[in-house]
Structure 1
Amino acid sequence: MAEQRSGTVVDPTAVEEIVRFHGHMCPGLAMGIRAAEIALREVGPHSSDEEVVALTETDMCGVDAIQYLTGCTFGKGNLIHLDYGKNAYTFVRRSDGKAVRVSTQPGAFDRSPEHNELSTKVREGSATDEERTRYKELRANRVEAILLAPEEELHAVEELEDAQIPSMARIHNSVACAGCGELTMETRVRRLEGKKLCLACFERER
């Protein structure tokens, strides 16, 4: 495994592009940037097709940084969401099976009591203009701290032996749902009383 680093090595211009892609900068996105650069170092480079697969155990902001920097996307089938509610990612290189799991260190995402209090007020719409300004300041400081922190303070990196490599993305035939008439991937169709139904219609009619 390559030597861990202190501070992000992602080019500032790339960071700006990631922010535009995601819509805003926040601590979650910064954590995703730091996780993605580990992936690029350990199993990269950027995946133009399906050379690298990312399995993400969260759907938080950081996943957008993973998509942008690694080239692993839902549309290509090499970004797989495992709904475990963990800030953790597994990256697998298809060519030789090398795989690493990157998980957030306990405490790496902790915020100060003031930050937590202001976050609640902002979310509930009760924050004053002064409190909103202070909240933005604290969030910006947290982002900067994440981007500059030693890697080992943010993430644990584990090289996996004999990792199971997900199968390549497949294109399946579509069939018309007997309920709504919309085309549905045949592997997602359910049968009810002889009818082929999409999942939404199946749930309504059963």
Structure 2
Amino acid sequence: MCIEKTPWEQVIEFHGHTCAEIALGYRVAQIANRELGVSEIFEPLIKVTAYTHSCALDAFQIINRATYGRNYLFVVEQNIHSYVFQTNDRAEKLQITVNSEIIEKITEDVVSLSSRERQAKTIEAIKIILGTEEAQFCEIKHKA
């Protein structure tokens, strides 16, 4: 018997583990789909430009179906968590920038922590990412 996985489970399976940046990508990808009105699997493809290399990119590949292989996922390294989304059937672009306070909260140095402490920090970071009110989590701009 096949059990259909949730989008969150699909992202985690694709990425290989749970981490704060995969949660960040998951939330940004969901916001982008909502803002662009994309809901069905047969909707137009979404081009994504990311301004940092991070685990978040894996969430965009699953949720937004934007992959390197199809030339729908691009990275312009500027070391900021800002992402531009555009469907292939509209000129409108959507920019989502994660607030720097959120990034600071989730990027604490965990190298010197025990595995149990690292796990607790990861869970805490995911709760912050998924639980912060959207207005405090990111800035959303629609561009012509």
TM bin, normalised by shorter chain, reads 0.7 to 0.9
TM-score (normalised: structure 1): 0.61
Q: CA RMSD in A?
A: 2.2
Matching residue of 2:31: 38
What letter matches 1:31 in structure 2? L
Output one character per residue of 1:68-125: Cα deviation in whole Å (capped at 9) or x when no partner.
100111011111111222111100122221211011112012238xx835x131xxxx
Matching residue of 1:81: 75
How many matched pairs?
Answer: 139
Are residues 1:99 and 2:90 paired?
no
What letter matches 1:102 in structure 2? I
Q: Name the CA distance, whole Å, in 1 between partners of 2:71 and 2:42.
A: 12
Q: Name the CA distance, whole Å, in 1 between partners of 2:87 and 2:44.
A: 9
Deviation at 1:48, TM superposition (A): 5.6
Q: What 5-or-longer segments of structure 2 have no aligned partner?
A: none
**Alignment counterpart, residue 136 of structure 2, candidates 131, 138, 153:** 153
Q: What 5-or-longer segments of structure 1 have no aligned partner?
A: 1-11, 122-126, 162-206
Matching residue of 1:139: 122
Q: Relative contact order: is structure 1 or structure 2 higher (C-alpha 8 Å, sep ≥ 6)?
A: 2
Deviation at 1:62, TM superposition (A): 0.6
> CA 1:160–1:47 in structure 2 vs 1: closer, same or farther (change >3 Å)?
farther
What letter matches 2:65 in structure 1? G
Are residues 1:27 and 2:10 paired?
no
Matching residue of 1:14: 7
Identity of aligned residues (%): 20
Mapped contact 2:96–2:139 kept (Cα < 8 A): yes
Matching residue of 1:116: 108
Q: Name the CA distance, whole Å, in 1 between partners of 2:129 and 2:57.
A: 16
Are residues 1:64 and 2:58 paired?
yes
Q: Name the CA distance, whole Å, in 1 between partners of 2:58 and 2:72.
A: 14
